[in-house]
Structures are given as C-alpha cells and as structure tokens.
C-alpha cells in the first residue's frame, strides 16, 4: 500500500511539472462542491442514524468574487422518532489565493430550512413541522491536491433569524470538510 501511494505521488508530481497550475477563483469558473455523510451512533439499546447530503455550486462572475446556490437534505432517526429536513441557500463571497495550491474561501449564506419530525408511540404517529430562515458564514481553507480539484476544511457558523411556531432560534457552530473542483 505504501509503495502504491509513493508511485501515485510521483506520477502526480511529474504530471504537475508538465503543465502550469491553473489559478482558482478566476472570472467564469464554475465550482461544484459539497459534502455527504452517513453516521450511526449507538449506546445500549438506543441508536441514532444520520444521513446528510449538501451539494453546492459556485460561480465566479469576476475574479475572486463568487455567487452560488446550495441544497441540503438531512435525515435523522432514533427509535420511534424520525426527523427529515431539506433546505435551499444562496451564497455570496470571495476567494483569496494564499499560494499556488492553497486558497481561502469567504462565503456568506442565507438559507431556508424545512424540517418534519414524526414520533410514533403505541402505533399513533404525531407529526410536527418547523420552517426557518438563517444567515451564516464559512471560511474553509482549500488545498488544491490536483489540477481543478480540492479538499478543504474550516469553520462554519449560522444563526436563525426566523422560525415558524417557535420563539427559540438555533445557532450552529461546526467544523466542515468539503470536496470539490472547478472548470
């Protein structure tokens, strides 16, 4: 396995030496990116399964200035309770080159989220729906590991400014990882 990785690294290095490294964040570039995850957590007789799909597409209408859209799907189940949600978001931000193979994205977001919770007790299902709108920001550091391809990680924060039927607002802080490319 180590030998295979070393050979692939040498091939990638040789290919990179032949062509100039393309710049990221230039006018006209389209950037599909996102994340997908599935997790299962258990303790004793209880377990939680979570599935998240979060694709985004960004466009650079000018050098280092981006606009974009995103979608979210999330499903969480634990015993007799299931929570499913979807959302749509709009993005505005920029890109800063920190080197030939490193960039920083600065992205602000406005999002709409709709969630439905179904709890079944003794064969009877109770359903509740929650809709909300939030603003957020993320600052992922991108590592361009191959031409037109990157992986990245960075902080993300969001805060709801409206929620149906609830006076409580959800604030989220997380470390996100992303994968993407550009053409």
Cα 14 off chain centre by = 32
Which phi-psi region, left, alpha or beta, contains residue 45 (left: φ > 0; alpha: ψ -120 to 50)? alpha
| Beta carbons within 8 Å of 40's beta carbon, 6+ residues apart | 47, 48, 49, 50
- Asked if pLDDT for residue 7 goes beyond 60, the answer is no
Report pLDDT for 8. Answer: 45
93 lies in some domain: yes
| Beta carbons within 8 Å of 116's beta carbon, 6+ residues apart | 83, 84, 85, 127, 128, 129, 130
1 lies in some domain: no
Which phi-psi region, left, alpha or beta, contains residue 14 (left: φ > 0; alpha: ψ -120 to 50)? alpha
Provide the pLDDT confidence category of residue 35 given band limits of 50, 70 and 90.
Answer: confident
113 lies in some domain: yes
Report pLDDT for 3. Answer: 58
The count of domains in the chain is 1
Q: What is the pLDDT of residues 131-161, one digit of tens each?
A: 999 999 999 999 999 989 999 999 999 999 9
Helices H / strands E in the chain, number of each: 1, 9
Provide the pLDDT confidence category of residue 42 given band limits of 50, 70 and 90.
Answer: confident
17 lies in some domain: no
* More reliable by pLDDT, 166 or 88: 88
| Beta carbons within 8 Å of 103's beta carbon, 6+ residues apart | 24, 25, 95, 96, 97, 141, 142, 144, 150
Classify each residue of 93-129 as buried b or exposed e, where b means 16 or more C-beta atoms within 10 Å of its C-beta: bbbeeeeebebbbbbebebebebeeeeeeeeeeeeee
- What predicted TM-score, i.e. pTM, was given to this entire model? 0.79
User: Residue 33 sits in a domain of what CATH number?
Assistant: 2.40.160.20
8 lies in some domain: no
| Beta carbons within 8 Å of 26's beta carbon, 6+ residues apart | 60, 63, 64
139 lies in some domain: yes
- Asked if pLDDT for residue 39 goes beyond 70, the answer is yes
* More reliable by pLDDT, 4 or 105: 105
Tell me which residue range forms the domain holding 135: 22-181
- 93-102 average pLDDT score: 94
Provide the pLDDT confidence category of residue 121 given band limits of 50, 70 and 90.
Answer: confident
Report pLDDT for 125. Answer: 87
7 lies in some domain: no
H or E stretch covering 13: helix 2-18
118 lies in some domain: yes
Residue 19, φ and ψ in degrees, nearest 5 = -115, 145
- Asked if pLDDT for residue 12 goes beyond 80, the answer is no
């Amino acid at each position: 396995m180590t030998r295979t990785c070393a050979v692939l690294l040498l091939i990638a290095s040789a290919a990179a030496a032949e062509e100039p490294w393309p710049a990221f964040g230039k006018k006209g570039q389209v950037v599909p990116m996102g994340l997908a995850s599935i997790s299962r957590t258990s303790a004793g007789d209880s377990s939680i399964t979570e599935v998240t799909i979060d694709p985004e597409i960004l466009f650079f209408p000018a050098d280092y200035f981006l606009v974009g859209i995103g979608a979210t799907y999330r499903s969480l189940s634990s015993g007799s309770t299931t929570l499913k949600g979807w959302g749509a978001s709009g993005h505005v931000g920029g890109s800063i080159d920190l080197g030939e193979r490193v960039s920083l994205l600065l992205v602000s977001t406005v999002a709409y989220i709709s969630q439905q919770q179904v709890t079944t007790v003794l064969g009877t299902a109770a359903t509740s729906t929650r809709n909300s709108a939030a603003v957020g920001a993320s600052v992922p550091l991108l590592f361009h590991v191959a031409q037109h391809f990157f992986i990245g990680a960075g902080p993300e924060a969001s805060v709801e400014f409206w929620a149906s039927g609830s006076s409580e607002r959800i604030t989220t802080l997380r470390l996100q990882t992303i994968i993407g490319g550009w053409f």
